[in-house]
Structure 1
Amino acid sequence: MPDRPEVVCICGSTRFADEMSAANRDLTFAGVIVLAPGVFLRAEDHGADELITDAQKAVLGALHLRKIDMADRVLVVNPGGYVGESTSREIAYARATGKPISFTDPV
């Protein structure tokens, strides 16, 4: 194992929480440090008392950009090629900062 393991930031729609979890597991078993979304609540999955406010969403989005800053590369989990608005912003940010990006599915 190298002195410092590779660090990968997982990006993708929270609708793919199961797929992101599987990617996280596979990367971790491969000796990679994984940075991933920490919250997966979506309106259609939970009651109104568990929804994320706009302010919380903004904080989570900013935190995720910092995770991209910390990563050596980005893995976009995009089953069926789906990339939503937030993930598109994260991809643009990663590209602007020169991070290598790979996708689980062709785009």
Structure 2
Amino acid sequence: MNAQTFNALAEPNRLDIVDLLLEEPLPVGEIADKLKLNQPQTSKHLRVLSEAGLVEVQPIANRRIYKLRPEPFQELDSWLDSYRRMWEARMDRLDDYLNVLQGKKPLN
């Protein structure tokens, strides 16, 4: 997993931008308006997200439309999956143990 991805997503405004772009691609001005940020600040956050590979820009006429790139999020999901499996296994063992304590079934 790329640490740059986590660094980019750690800032609340950038995470808000990602949440907005989940719905649809947007130009920088609309992102700024929806998040009540100034345009230079929004552009700076978008640059960080772009450098981390999380967003890409598509120029259309004189507008720059930003959209999410799925690959980094798929990579993040794969990385998290190993932890998800570990926690699910631990929860299954806890569930088995609680059932034993309640007399519902023997521990395997």
TM-score by length of 2: 0.24
TM-score by length of 1: 0.25
Larger helix fraction of residues: 2
Larger radius of gyration: 2
